[in-house]
Amino acid sequence: RQKTKILNRPVVFSFIGQAEKHKGLSILLEAWEKAGFKANEAKLNIAGKGSLSSRLEQESAGRQDIAYLNNLDREGVEKLLAATDVVVVPSLVYENSPTSLWEAAGHGLRAIASDIGGIPELSPFLDLKLVPPADSDALASAFKKIVA
């Protein structure tokens, strides 16, 4: 994918991390529903495994706009990043320096992340939109602004 300010359709958002509650996946799914995208407008990829894996499989089953990719090896993560426009880190807990944001920076990608812990300190290194933690309305609004 070409990394420019003008994004192709559908705009591809990706979460890469543990499939655990503290990573904000419930907020991510709630925000995605609020944004109300059609599959030709935007797509959400979720990669990672954990206690929420079964729920993510159920939530994404038969949907065109959400894909649950389970656990990816390094090559799989690289392929996903190459197909991604925006990395999403909706964490509910203090994160020092999330790997997925450094990966986004290394690939020249935009990112949306919770304004918590050390995450704001990464803003000089990538195009980072900060949202309040646990605020699905703010996250949905950030999605819409990028897709608009």
Mind listing the pLDDT tens digit for each residue in 85-139? 999 999 999 999 999 999 999 999 999 999 999 999 999 999 999 999 999 999 9
Higher pLDDT, 23 or 5: 23
Of the pLDDT bands very low, low, confident and very high (cuts 50, 70, 90), residue 2 is very low
d(CA 52, CA 144): 26
* Res. 4: pLDDT tops 60: no
**Are the CB atoms for 89 and 15 separated by under 8 Å?**
yes
pTM: 0.95
Alpha-carbon distances of 75 from 15, 80, 96, 102, rounded to whole Å: 16, 9, 25, 16
Task: Retrieve residue 139's tokens.
Answer: 């996250």
**Are the CB atoms for 28 and 88 separated by under 8 Å?**
yes
Tell me what pLDDT residue 64 has. Answer: 96
Task: Retrieve residue 28's tokens.
Answer: 């991510």
